[in-house]
Every structure is written in structure tokens, then in C-alpha cells.
């Protein structure tokens, strides 16, 4: 029996086009599952809607079919007016990719990883007949695509994702505040960022989004060499957003860097937990179908 290839960046880089890459990731992530990640079910009946292939057969109303000779399903409050909000951090640090020799030339940047995962979620929203909206920015919303549904809206979102470029500084509190103004109560919000900012202002922005949304997920994207620090001796590192440089000795700096990284992670996790926001950390070298399974609620 032939096994499916792992959807690693090296494998996906051979697939041309964001749409095809996202479809491969979505199908790989959902293989063998029957989850409806954007929907819950309540006992309170809301309305009927016409059956389309892919609807949950448990909700077919056979009595209505006998009366009307037309298939229909019961729809519940949790299933109506759901919107999927995709927000991508496009500050300069998101353009970073693992530069170590082991990463190879096919390594994805953090923004490229975010694009594929966001496009996969847009395709899933289309499959579930939910609306999808896209916003992006580093210090404010540099652009957004208004809520839409169906194949045309999905294609427009994916086209916009393909055009995104990273640049400029990070101010997540301001970006999240602008996004919160567009969020409605039945929204699932997915925030793609490397979270390279102090946790307190980030939490302030997340609080605004969480008050307006049904659920919020922060997808923190990092590279392997960010986690493991740098090898070698004397190094000059440059801040991608400010251009400032710092000369360091890698070996003695590694322990202090690891401690600071752990501290930042603990503080960010605590802030998200307090706000009931899911925090999912993935790396750019992860197979993207596995990463999407972690992202889905």
C-alpha cells in the first residue's frame, strides 16, 4: 500500500500555486476525519435549508421530505451567520526563513507558511458555506477583503494572500484593535503572527478581539533556528524591522536566549489562557497538514 507523502515545505514547494498547495494541505489534514470545525450543534432548532452534498445526513428532515418531496436539513443557531476572520501579521520579521544548511533552499518563510494555512482555512470555510474575510498589516490594517462566501470570494482571498509582502515594524495591539472593530459575535478569528512583541500590549489587543468573537486562535509561527538559536562563533545579527545590528558570541549567548524565549512563551501562554484564546505554535519546517490539524478548533 502506497503511503501519502508528508506535506513538508520541500514537498509543497514543488506544487505550483497557492490554491493547489492549500487544497493539498486541507485534504491531507482532513483525511480520515469528519469534523465540522467551525460548527457546534445545539438543541434549539433555527431554520430549514436545502440539502447539498456534504451536509451532515443526521440532520436530514425525512418528515419534511415526505411532505414536500424535497430534501432539506435542520439548521441550528450555532450553524448560522458564521464568519471566518483571517488576520496575517505582515511585519518585516514574518519574511524570515530558516537559513541553516539543514533547512535547504525549499524552506518557507513565516509569511509563506501563514499564507498556506490561511488559504486552507478559506477553502474549508467555502466547503462549509461560511463567509470568510481577510485582513493584514504590521502596525495597522494595510488592507482587508470584506466578508464573502462561495468560490469567487475564496479565489479573491487566495489571490490577495499570494500578493502579500512583509515589511515594516510590528504593533500587534494596534492591528488587533483595528481587526476587533470588524468582528461579529459568530466569528472564528485566526491570527497568524510570530508574536515577537511584548505580551502585555498583545494581550490588550487580543482582549478586544475575544470580546467580539465566538472563538479566537493565535497561530504563532517560528523557525527552527529561532528556537535553537544560532551556531558558530562571533556573529552579527540584524533586526529585520529596525535595521539595528548586534555583535554576539553564539555559544555564551545561547543559554540566555533560551531562557528569554521560555519566559516570553510562558507569559504569552498565560495571557492567552486568561482570555480564553487558543495559542498554537508551529514551525516553518512542520508538515503543513499536521500544522493545520493543530490550528483547527
Model confidence pLDDT, tens digit, residues 264-282 = 999 999 999 999 999 999 9
What are the sequence ranges of the domains in the chain? 9-34+82-295, 47-77
Which has the minimum average pLDDT: 68-77, 97-106, 132-141?
68-77
Whether 175 has a pLDDT exceeding 70, the answer reads yes
Cα–Cα distance for residue pair 177/52, rounded to 1 Å: 38
CATH 1.10.3730.10 is right for the domain spanning 9-34+82-295: no
Cell of 96: 524570515
- Res 193: pLDDT: 97
pTM of this prediction?
Answer: 0.82
DSSP 150: S
Whether 37 has a pLDDT exceeding 80, the answer reads no
Cα–Cα distance for residue pair 227/119, rounded to 1 Å: 26
Q: How far is CA 267 from CA 94, 180, 184, 282, in A?
A: 21, 22, 28, 17
Any idea of the CA torsion for 11, 16, 18, 24, to the nearest 10 degrees? -50
Whether 139 has a pLDDT exceeding 50, the answer reads yes
Q: Which of 224, 290, 284, 222 is nearest to 7 (CA)?
A: 290
Amino acid at each position: 500500500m502506497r503511503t501519502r507523502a508528508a506535506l513538508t515545505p520541500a514537498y509543497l514547494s514543488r506544487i505550483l500555486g497557492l490554491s493547489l498547495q492549500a487544497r493539498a494541505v486541507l485534504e491531507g489534514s482532513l483525511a480520515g476525519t469528519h469534523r465540522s470545525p467551525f460548527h457546534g450543534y445545539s438543541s434549539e432548532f433555527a431554520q430549514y435549508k436545502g440539502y447539498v452534498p456534504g451536509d451532515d445526513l443526521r440532520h436530514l428532515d425525512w418528515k419534511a421530505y415526505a411532505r414536500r418531496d424535497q430534501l432539506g436539513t435542520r439548521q441550528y443557531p450555532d450553524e448560522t451567520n458564521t464568519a471566518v476572520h483571517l488576520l496575517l501579521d505582515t511585519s518585516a520579521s514574518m519574511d524570515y526563513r530558516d537559513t541553516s544548511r539543514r533547512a535547504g533552499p525549499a524552506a518557507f518563510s513565516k509569511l509563506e507558511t501563514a499564507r498556506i494555512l490561511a488559504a486552507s482555512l478559506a477553502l474549508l470555510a467555502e466547503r462549509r458555506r461560511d463567509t470568510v474575510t481577510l485582513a493584514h498589516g504590521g502596525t495597522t490594517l494595510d488592507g482587508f477583503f470584506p466578508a464573502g462566501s462561495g468560490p469567487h470570494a475564496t479565489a479573491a482571498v487566495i489571490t490577495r494572500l499570494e500578493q502579500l509582502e512583509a515589511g515594516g515594524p510590528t504593533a500587534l495591539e494596534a492591528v488587533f484593535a483595528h481587526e476587533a472593530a470588524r468582528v461579529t459575535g459568530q466569528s472564528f478569528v485566526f491570527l497568524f503572527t510570530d508574536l515577537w512583541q511584548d505580551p502585555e500590549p498583545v494581550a490588550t489587543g487580543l482582549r478586544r478581539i475575544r470580546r467580539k468573537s465566538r472563538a479566537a486562535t493565535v497561530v504563532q509561527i517560528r523557525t527552527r533556528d529561532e528556537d535553537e538559536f544560532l551556531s558558530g562563533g562571533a556573529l552579527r545579527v540584524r533586526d529585520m524591522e529596525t535595521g539595528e545590528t548586534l555583535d554576539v558570541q553564539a555559544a555564551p549567548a545561547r543559554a540566555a536566549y533560551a531562557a528569554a524565549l521560555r519566559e516570553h512563551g510562558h507569559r504569552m501562554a498565560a495571557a492567552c489562557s486568561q482570555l480564553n484564546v487558543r495559542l498554537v505554535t508551529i514551525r516553518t519546517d512542520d508538515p503543513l497538514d499536521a500544522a493545520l490539524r493543530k490550528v483547527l478548533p
